[in-house]
């Protein structure tokens, strides 16, 4: 069975099932279709399936043409999970958020697997790509698959291969980012290498699913900790009246031993603000207190409050208070040049400002209508940025520095700018750096 499945994967006669057609699953589905596989995409959101069938994108940095090209080559989307039996590979690309206690929420992974299990069969490879704590694949997926009567390593080949997408980054594509892969058994790993070998330039095989799971956490914790460090350095530099961005630029000229990280209004995205807590939670099971990681998390979570304090100070200089002031949040996606709102610190800043009595609006060409979110409710649409509209706000908070924004226009007509991204380098009377 193993050899037959691997042969199908290698000669591209296998049907690839992608479960979850978001920022991770959709680019992966397109990549498989591009190289010649028949791809079956699953999602509980019928609007996504409808958009794909109509050849329309719902992710800003993925053009309609990419969807259309993929569907012409055999990419099909559905909400019908009974069709899982048609797939020779099932790749799970579903969210792994934190619950209200900031503990891992595996409900999307487990519920997705439970939805697939009645229709799974022998001679399939299952790959989990969602970020999670070490042991999830072996302790949560494997027992459920085997309880359904399918032997892992023989009937079903189980692997963990963490996603490494960087939405909106033109320098790295699904194909060019090396793919880490760990198998539940040696047979599973062989299947995993065959699954990804035709679509990814480099597959990095590791000895177990736990190693692959820990690898993903290390990558993101490394980034979270270094961002926490530079955010703390920003606060120190601010008190000393030193421009932290000038410091970073100067330090970055060192050709060894330094990697530049940049401060901001807080952490956003589906990985960096969340993944460290997966490890800190799991580490407690082993009696380990991850103090360093948690301290970085405290610093990063404080950043929205730091920005709000900067807004208050700036308004105070103009003899105004936050209460009653009109404040425009400029950019609400979690990073520039994407439409991804997940864990965006901009939204927490908006919430804090509103709680203090501010009248808050936003402008973001990537997010025309404020989306529904679990923790926040804003009935808002993006405003048009003009000289008149900018002049009508008491404060502009530059939270996400999209390249398409007209920064000269903003600087010329804003009464007060609180810049959280270091976009404006030269001092100005209407500028506060945050």
Mean pLDDT rounded to a whole number for the chain: 95
Tens of pLDDT, residue by residue over 139-189, are 999 999 999 999 999 999 999 999 998 877 888 889 999 999 999 999 999
Residue 255 has pLDDT above 90, yes or no: yes
432 band by pLDDT with thresholds 50, 70 and 90: very high
Residue 271 has pLDDT above 90, yes or no: no
The H-assigned helical ranges of 198-290 are 209-239, 244-251, 275-285
**How far, CA to CA in Å, does 201 sit from each of 176, 233, 304, 306, 330?**
6, 38, 39, 42, 38
274 band by pLDDT with thresholds 50, 70 and 90: confident
Active site residue 271: yes
The total number of residues written for the chain in this structure: 434
To which H or E segment does residue 77 belong? strand 75-78
Contact 312, 324 (CB under 8 A): no
Question: What average pLDDT score do residues 359-374 get?
Answer: 93
- In sequence order, what DSSP letters do the residues of 131-199 get, joined into one string? ---TTHIIIIIHHHHHHTT--BTTTEEEEE------TT-TT--TTTS-EEEEESSHHHHHHHHHHHHTT
Q: Which of 93, 181, 188, 271 is catalytic?
A: 271
Tens of pLDDT, residue by residue over 70-101, are 999 999 999 999 999 999 999 999 999 888 77
61 band by pLDDT with thresholds 50, 70 and 90: confident
pLDDT score, position 141: 98
The model carries a pTM of 0.92
Domains and CATH numbers, the chain: 2-206 (3.40.50.720), 245-433 (3.40.50.720)
% of the chain surpassing 90 pLDDT: 90
Question: What average pLDDT score do residues 308-324 get?
Answer: 96
Query: Angle between the 2-10 and 186-197 helix axes, to the nearest 10 degrees?
Result: 10
* Contacts of range 2-7, beta carbons closer than 8 Å, 24 or more positions apart: 2/157, 2/187, 2/190, 2/191, 4/123, 5/88, 5/123, 5/124, 5/125, 5/157, 5/191, 5/194, 6/190, 6/191, 6/194
């Amino acid at each position: 069975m193993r050899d037959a499945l691997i042969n199908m994967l290698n000669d591209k006669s296998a049907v690839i099932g992608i479960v979850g057609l978001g920022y991770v699953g959709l680019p992966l589905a397109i990549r498989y279709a591009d190289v010649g596989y028949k791809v079956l995409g699953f999602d509980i959101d019928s609007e996504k399936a409808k958009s794909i069938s109509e050849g329309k994108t719902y992710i800003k940095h993925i053009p309609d043409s990419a969807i259309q090209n993929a569907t012409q080559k055999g990419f099909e989307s559905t909400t019908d999970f009974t069709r899982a039996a048609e797939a020779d590979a099932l790749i799970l690309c579903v969210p792994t958020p934190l619950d209200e206690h900031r503990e891992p929420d595996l409900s999307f992974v487990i519920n997705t697997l439970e939805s697939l299990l009645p229709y799974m069969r022998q001679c399939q490879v299952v790959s989990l790509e969602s970020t999670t704590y070490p042991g999830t694949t072996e302790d949560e997926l494997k027992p459920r698959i085997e309880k359904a009567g399918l032997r892992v390593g023989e009937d079903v080949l189980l692997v963990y291969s963490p996603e490494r997408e960087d939405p909106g980054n033109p320098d790295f594509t699904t194909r060019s980012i090396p793919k880490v892969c760990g198998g539940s058994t040696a047979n599973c790993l062989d299947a995993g290498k065959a699954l990804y070998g035709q679509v990814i330039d480099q597959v990095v095989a590791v000895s177990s699913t736990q190693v692959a799971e820990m690898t993903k956490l290390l990558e993101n914790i490394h980034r979270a900790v270094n961002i926490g460090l530079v955010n703390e350095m920003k606060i120190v530099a601010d008190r000393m009246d030193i421009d932290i961005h000038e410091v970073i630029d100067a330090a970055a000229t060192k050709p060894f031993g330094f990697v530049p990280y940049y401060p901001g209004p807080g952490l956003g995205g589906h990985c960096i603000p969340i993944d460290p807590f997966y490890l800190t939670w799991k580490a407690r099971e082993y009696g380990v207190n991850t103090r360093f990681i948690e301290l970085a998390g405290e610093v990063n979570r404080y950043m929205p409050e730091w920005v709000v304090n900067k807004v208050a100070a700036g308004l105070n200089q103009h003899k105004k208070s936050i209460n009653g002031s009109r404040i425009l949040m400029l950019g609400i996606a979690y990073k520039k040049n994407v439409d991804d709102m997940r864990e965006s610190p901009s939204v927490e800043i908006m919430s804090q400002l509103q709680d203090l009595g501010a009248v808050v609006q936003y402008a973001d060409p990537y997010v025309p209508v404020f989306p529904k979110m679990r923790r926040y409710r804003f009935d808002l649409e993006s405003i048009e940025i003009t000289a008149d509209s900018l002049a009508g706000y008491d404060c502009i908070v530059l939270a996400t520095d999209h390249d398409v924004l007209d920064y000269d226009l903003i600087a010329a007509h804003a009464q007060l700018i609180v810049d959280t991204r270091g976009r404006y380098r030269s001092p100005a009377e209407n500028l506060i750096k945050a």
